[in-house]
Each structure stands twice: as structure tokens, then as C-alpha cells.
Amino acid sequence: MSQPLARLRLRLTAWYAATFGLILLLLGGGLFLSIRAQISRQLDISLRQATRALQGAARIREIERRTARGNVVDAVDELHIPDRTLYLLDPDGTPVKPGVAPAWIEAAARVAARDSSVDLQRDTRDATLRLHAERFAVPDGRVYVGVAVADVMELEDQYAALIYAFGAAALAGVFLVAGGGWLLVRKATEPVERSMETMRRFMADAAHELRTPIAVIRSQAEVTLQRERDFAGYTEALRRVESEATRLGATVEDLLTLARADAGQRPVQWARVYLDDLLLDAATAARALAERRGVALEVGAFEETVVEGDAALLRQLLMIVLDNAVKFTPAGGRVRVDAATRDGQAQVTVEDTGAGIPSDQIPHIFERFYRGDPARARGDGTEGAGLGLAIARWIADAHGAAIAVASEVGKGTRVTVRLPAVLSSS
């Protein structure tokens, strides 16, 4: 794996984890504030309930006092509310039970006596205390102030437990997201890695293919310039340079075609096309090459076959298939072409009596720069760069066509191109 891609994966994984962590932070902060407000409300409610319990108990004791069975101050002693401290004071803020109260509680009692009730929070050296004070009257008309006090640290302890639990879950979630994100990033970047590897191989192969004709042209020119030659010598040298330049130009053209195809810069110009006419035109153009090589090019069955596609690209596809068939068929051999419509598909078949292709090489013949076994090279200077069938495959894929290759070493090859047919209208 390349270093830039590895860094990209790490960066994307870090972004996944950071984004998820930020979401958890925002969600946790909102949840914490919401729960904190809820717990604070519950604390205030519990304090009000404690003072009302104190009021109820005081009224009962006042009734019992009339029968000499109780005293209002006993209400404070009899009530046992966990984590709550209760005070009973008169309207002037004087403690009734217990006999002593902090000054700020006495002050709160006087405010409650005036305003009916009051809620306060006070920070002390050791704790933060929350108070609810409420005025009430007993049956004989006397007025008291009931006070309930709670330590807010109880609330803070609940906050801390909540933070620890959420923090542990969030940390585990971030690790899980980081691991899952790494796997997802690897999966998502695999096509990129394959594309980069294909591009690197493509560039290396292209450089190799271009280097050979350039080296031949350069060496031919250097040899020609080393000494004086006659007209025939210069003519022969220029012919060789022209041959290599032509080969170089064809390779460059093929590379540009594939580059435009990869970039989507060669759109298909859709139109109704007679595939049999395109095949006949391509066969006529290939016949000159076949005659030079001593190969018989036969035209077999030719039914009218109408398809939707780009005429120029489809003709190029047919020319590539025919060119390969002729070039790999030895002198005295035969190439036959047929066009027909079968089961709603237009079908073109090119069959030759050439050397054939080993079965293990057939899956690779459409790869760029693939030319099979070097021992099977034609050795006549007509070898291509191995780009023709790659272009043919691209054209077929662009048209929704299928290319099937059947071959047997020593007996020949049959290439079948199938495209969706269109019913022709008279």
C-alpha cells in the first residue's frame, strides 16, 4: 500500500473518530444538563415534600397537645427523612426545634414568614446546601416556619456517577467507531488502491511501449548521420523511421483513446446503425492487409442487423477484431466474418485459422498491454502495443455488448460480438 493512501486512511479514520467523539460530546453535554436540571427539580420537590411533612406532623402534634398527649415541637423529633435536616422556627426566625439554627437559616425563615415560602442555596466551607422554607399555621392560630435543608453534594455525586458511566461508554464507542471506521475506510479505498495500482502499471507499460520506437528512431537517425549515404540509403533509413513513427503514433492514439474513455471524455453518439454495413466496410478495409499477408478473408452470412450505438466506435471495434484475426493468421490461412440476428441480438462472428490462444491466456487478452506468450509474437514488425482489445472491450461495455472468445491452440480463434438488436422499420 502506498504511503499517501495509508496516510489518507489514517486521516479519514481520525476524522470518523473525531466526528463521532464530537457528536458524543454534544449529546452527552445536552443529556447531562437535562438530567442535572431534572435532578435539581427533584431535589426541590423533595425539600417541599419534607417541609409539608413537617407541617402535617406539627398540626397533628398541636391537636394532640390539646389532649395533653403531644407537643408541636415533637414533630421535628419524630420525622426521620434521610439526607434531610429539618428546622421549626417562629415568624421572627427564632429556632423552636432544634434550639439553635445557623443565622442564614433564621434569615430565610423570616423571609418565608413574610413571603409565604423561599428557596435558597448557600455555599459553606464544607458543602453546598439547598433550603426550602415555608410558612404554615397550626389549628390554634400560631404561625411557624418549616425548613428543610439538603446537601447538594448528594446531587453532585449523582452527576459524577453519570459522567463516569457516560464517559466510559463514550470512550468505548469512540474506539469501536475508530475500528469500524478503519475497516470501512479500507473497504472504501480498495477501488482507489486498485485504480492507483492499475494507473502505475499502465504508466510503466506505456513508458516501455513508447521507449522502444523512440529508441529505434533515434538509433536509426544516429546511424544514418554517421556517414555519407546514397539516395537509396537515405530513403531506406527514412522508411524505417516512418515505420517506427507510425507505430509510435498508433500507440499514442490508442493511449489517448483509453485516457479519454477513462475520463469520460469520449461520449457515445447514439444513433440507429446497420451493423452488417459497418462489418462489410471494416472487412473491405482489412482485405488489403489480408492480401499482403496471404490470408483469405471470406464474407459469410450477412443478415440485416440494426443496433443502437456509435457508428465510429462500433466500426473501430470490428476493425480491431478483424485486424487481430488477420495478423495472427499465417499465410495460406483463412478469416471468415458473419453477421446475423439471433434471439433478439445482433451477432457478429470473426473466425480465423490462426495459431489460437491458450485457455489460460484468454481471461487476460482484454487487459491493457497484454500480449500473451512472447514466443508467439509474430516477429514481422506488426506487433501492437496490446491496447487494441482493451479498447474493444471498452467500446463493447459502453454499448452493453458482450465479447466471447473461443480458441484452440493450433486450430484458430472465434470471436463473437453480441449487441441488443433493434427491429428495423421499413
Which positions ≥6 away from 302 have C-beta within 8 Å?
Answer: 276, 279, 280, 338, 339
Q: Report pTM.
A: 0.51
- Contact between residue 422 and residue 308 where contact means Cβ atoms under 8 Å apart: yes
The CATH class for the domain spanning 268-420 reads alpha beta
Domain boundaries, given as residue ranges, for the chain? 3-159, 268-420
CB atoms within 10 A of CB 5: 14
The three-state DSSP-derived secondary structure of 119-138 is EEEEECCCCEEEEEEEEEEC
Residue % of the chain over a pLDDT of 70: 83
Quote the CATH superfamily of domain 3-159. PAS domain (3.30.450.20)
Cα distance between residue 65 and residue 243, in whole Å: 128
Among the listed residues 327, 341, 313, 324, the one whose alpha carbon sits nearest the alpha carbon of residue 399: 313
- The pLDDT score that the predictor gives to residue 335 is 92
Q: What is the pLDDT of residues 79-125, one digit of tens each?
A: 777 778 888 888 888 888 888 888 888 899 999 888 888 988 888 77
Residue 421 is classified by DSSP as B
- The residue assigned the cell 453477421 is 339
Q: What is the pLDDT of residues 134-163, one digit of tens each?
A: 988 887 788 888 889 888 776 666 666 777
- Contact between residue 285 and residue 319 where contact means Cβ atoms under 8 Å apart: yes
